[in-house]
Structure 1
Amino acid sequence: MISNNQAARILCVDDEPNILSSLKRLLRPLGYELIMATSGKEGLEVLNKTEIDLVISDMRMPEMNGAEFLQHVRELWPDTTRLLLTGYSDINSIIDAINQGQIYRYITKPWDENEILLIVSQAIERQQLKRDKIRLEALTQKQNEELRQLNSNLEIKVQERTTDLQRTHEQLLNANEQLKNNFLTSIKVFASVVELRGGQLAGRSRRVADLSRRIARQLKLDGRLIQEIFIAALLADIGKLSLSDDLLRIPRQLMNAQQLGEFARHIAKAEQILMPLVDLQDAVKMIRSQHERYDGRGFPHKLIAQEIPIGARIISLAGDFDGLQHGAIQQKNLATEEAIFRIKQSAGGAYDPEVVAAFEIVISGKAEEFITQEIDFRSLQAGMVLAQDLVTRDGLLILPADFVIEEKIVERLRVFGLSQKSPLIAKIRRKS
């Protein structure tokens, strides 16, 4: 593990010497301690002898591929963060690595140097946050024990210890909040795997997730539930990775019975992919019911009205609204106004009337949204709150919506902004 005075130790595993050389050239100037291995077996031998903070492994290696190697790392050294190097075409390999090795992130080859530096930096920070969390929890436990042992006559000392405990508790809450932000960022990156297929899926996850979140806010749902609905909408199409390109090109209304049956399997596939992620099981329930109808004529279980989770009712409408405009439901791409009319026509049939009413308010621009302000990416300051995802022009997620900008990343954001050919615009919440 990293001490306060020790550089992060990174193990790079690849059977291609030129890849290892490139990683060494890229990462060494940042002060990391680098160890290179040319196979999964050699990497495991290194881990047996040396404490490693971060493992970067290639997918395609002889004898033991990256998914198998990272699975061993997860089982034997679960606290070591795991990254996967893979090609754009290795979708099944990415899924295997997520299921078996529970990787933190994946990096496509050939990589963008700014992207890999950002991902490695985030991974190391995540490790530090985990250690801070453990340290703070241990400190809290120790202070609680000391508090119990204090004599009732030492009132002043009790007050001092209580103050220290409150301060530690606040630090622990801050560390947990950072972990939540990192988790959401990972989910958004995971969802972007779907968009690698292109076609109707390109950009769909973020559009549907954003609309679902806005409808949920209009319905004044609990903040935690709104977050779960947003995550479920991001991952709603993850099972479609298992479908053929030919099937994905067919609008749903033109599918025959056999094609509809094959299409419906994407729900079960999504459950299978997300099963290892315990924190996502509420989202999985919403994903499972995204094709149910309010009138009970949907699939797979023909649930009716309130039997369908509210998140699924929202995602169903948001997904169909997007599909009507992008050819996923019928052959013709509908204009926005016509798509809105179709949704309203199906209130009480396909969709929950209350959800339709909230959708109408949101889509009309009359919803009580946050007041936002657009600023130059390089002008972000500590304390600002992002109103929407901060992404590069290539679609790379940098920071998620609702993220509170911290002092320690302001300079890195400024440097990254200067490296871009033209200014990037961030949208932040404006103080009322």
Structure 2
Amino acid sequence: MDEQTATTSPYTPTILLVDDEESILNSLRRLLRGQPYDVLLAGSGAQALEIMAAQPIDLVMTDARMPAMDGAMLLAETHRLYPSTTRILLTGYADMAMMIKAINEGQIHRYISKPWNDEEMLLTLRQSLEHRHSERERLRLEQLTREQNDQLKALNATLEKRVEARTSELQQTADMLDLAYDELKRSYVTGTEVFSLLANLRLPKQKQTNRQLIELIRVYCKAQAMDEASARDLTMAAALYNIGKLSWSDGMMVAPSDMLHSTDRERYRDYPTQSESLLMTLEPMKDAARLIRHHQERWDGSGFPDHLKGELIPSGARLLKLAVDFIELQKGLILERHMNSDEALLYIRKYAGKLYDPDMVEDFVQACAAFLSDVTLGDPSVKVLTTRELTEGMVLARNLNADNGMLLLNAGKVLNLPLVDKLIAFEAMEGAKYSVFIKEPDEAALSG
């Protein structure tokens, strides 16, 4: 009875928070109040090591900047003495040297910037502890397998029937190990998504791309019935494709790539290889890192970094380029003008066979139509016309904006000849060329 109770009773993880600023510790303690953790506090690295020597600690989160022993030193010592303890670095300083030291010597699991977002902080802690639990379970199962294997060898000579029974048990254990390993791989996917959210803090909200990119990739993978491994690699690549940009200046981070000059343009062309090099040491990330390296290659061979052409470009990288350009065109990160979703898809169609794999473009358009409610291009009743092709009675399928972003006409507007003439005149005055999305009058009437 006691053994059953011990098996089913929940395990409460212990978290150690380390910071020389009492106010930070108090804020973290308040945030974690009511969470299913035992929380311990330390005001210095030395005190933290004393606590860890006295009792097991599941996760330690430390400030980077502390007197005597900084966060990187504490995490390096923690890794040496208690390698199974999850390690997180918390800092308010954009100190690349500190981060590199913490990663190389402390082998940290996560990095969190001050000021933190409460929800993201709680999510990071929960996923880190889940990852530790999965790893601990995997090691336990491996030990169990070794023990059962030893027993099997001892019984093999004379007890064939018992061998068969043990073999069956070993198969079950192997299946459990596979499940544990699959869970570990899924934890990597989740980890990359969390890190992408933290990396996005370098960008203003209207320039952030990773969340939309991840969701769009998932929609496409599901629509194409893509296998789990390929979908997982693409999702991780979407989460971290721009990690190589983190060393850029704030101005360069938000500038359209088409407007960059000289040195900045060379740095831009290096970011796929920089992103790859940061991820290649992580075994589960190697395939995703390869997709990131080649996601700026072009179908005609004019891309970078390796000038691959056509089907020599990995298919996942071809898809990633479609998705990245679709999102970044709308964020003003490629051209100075912010496109709407349909305009971005028209741009992609225009350059099919030059920038993009022509066989992927239409499937991608349909995935975008499923992903975004404002995409009308997938609707067969919607046509894209120039202003000189407009006639009286046509109905706008979506808002028409000038190149400077000014709203000219609302979706649903019924055109008349004077209005068409004004549009043509305004287009000529602006020196622009508008793409007008029209819903055929009979279809508009039916929908009305």
Same fold (TM over 0.5): yes
Is the counterpart of residue 308 in structure 1 residue 313 in structure 2? Answer: yes
User: Which of residues 16, 24, 32 is equivalent to 2:21?
Assistant: 16
> Identity of paired residues, percent?
39
Is the counterpart of residue 124 in structure 1 residue 120 in structure 2? Answer: no
- Could you say what the CA RMSD is over the residues aligned between the two structures, in angstroms? 3.2
Q: Which residue of 2 aligns with 1:245?
A: 250
User: Which of residues 272, 286, 289 is equivalent to 2:294?
Assistant: 289
Whether the 8 Å CA contact 1:251–1:329 is kept in 2: the answer is yes
Distance 2:221 2:29 in 1: 46
- Assess, with a 3 A threshold, how the Cα gap between structure 1 residues 254 and 127 changes in structure 2: closer, same or farther: closer
Matches within 5 A, 1:168-183: 168-183=173-188
Whether the 8 Å CA contact 1:12–1:57 is kept in 2: the answer is yes
- Assess, with a 3 A threshold, how the Cα gap between structure 1 residues 198 and 32 changes in structure 2: closer, same or farther: closer
Shift of 1:188: 0.4
- Assess, with a 3 A threshold, how the Cα gap between structure 1 residues 249 and 127 changes in structure 2: closer, same or farther: closer
Matches within 5 A, 1:134-173: 134-151=139-156, 154-173=159-178
Distance 2:43 2:121 in 1: 20
- Assess, with a 3 A threshold, how the Cα gap between structure 1 residues 358 and 133 changes in structure 2: closer, same or farther: same
In our comparison, the structure showing a higher alpha carbon Rg is: 2
Q: Which moved more, 1:274-283 or 1:341-350?
A: 274-283
2:149 aligns to what SS in structure 1?
Answer: helix
1:274-309 superposed Cα distances (whole Å, 9 cap, x missing partner): 244232122222211221111111122212122222
Read off the aligned partner of 1:360 and give its amino acid letter.
Answer: V
Is the counterpart of residue 90 in structure 1 residue 107 in structure 2? Answer: no
Q: Which residue of 2 aligns with 1:429?
A: none
Whether the 8 Å CA contact 1:215–1:314 is kept in 2: the answer is no
- Assess, with a 3 A threshold, how the Cα gap between structure 1 residues 352 and 71 changes in structure 2: closer, same or farther: farther
Matches within 5 A, 1:268-347: 268-347=273-352
Distance 2:155 2:38 in 1: 45
Shift of 1:8: 3.6
Q: Which residue of 2 aligns with 1:254?
A: 259
Whether the 8 Å CA contact 1:86–1:94 is kept in 2: the answer is no
Q: Which residue of 2 aligns with 1:225?
A: 230
TM-score by length of 2: 0.71
Is the counterpart of residue 58 in structure 1 residue 69 in structure 2? Answer: no
Distance 1:132 1:362 in 2: 38
2:88 aligns to what SS in structure 1?
Answer: strand
Read off the aligned partner of 2:94 and give its amino acid letter.
Answer: D
> What stretches of structure 2 of length at least 5 have no aligned partner?
1-5, 372-448
Q: Which moved more, 1:302-311 or 1:62-71?
A: 62-71
Distance 1:27 1:333 in 2: 41
- Assess, with a 3 A threshold, how the Cα gap between structure 1 residues 299 and 112 changes in structure 2: closer, same or farther: closer
Q: Which residue of 1 aligns with 2:381?
A: none
Read off the aligned partner of 1:65 and give its amino acid letter.
Answer: D
Matches within 5 A, 1:25-36: 32=37, 34-36=39-41
Q: How many residues align?
A: 363
TM-score by length of 1: 0.73
Distance 2:82 2:281 in 1: 17
Matches within 5 A, 1:396-407: none
2:91 aligns to what SS in structure 1?
Answer: strand
1:393-422 superposed Cα distances (whole Å, 9 cap, x missing partner): xxxxxxxxxxxxxxxxxxxxxxxxxxxxxx
1:65-118 superposed Cα distances (whole Å, 9 cap, x missing partner): 32343233234432110122233x637455664455333334444556665455
Whether the 8 Å CA contact 1:99–1:276 is kept in 2: the answer is no
Whether the 8 Å CA contact 1:238–1:270 is kept in 2: the answer is yes
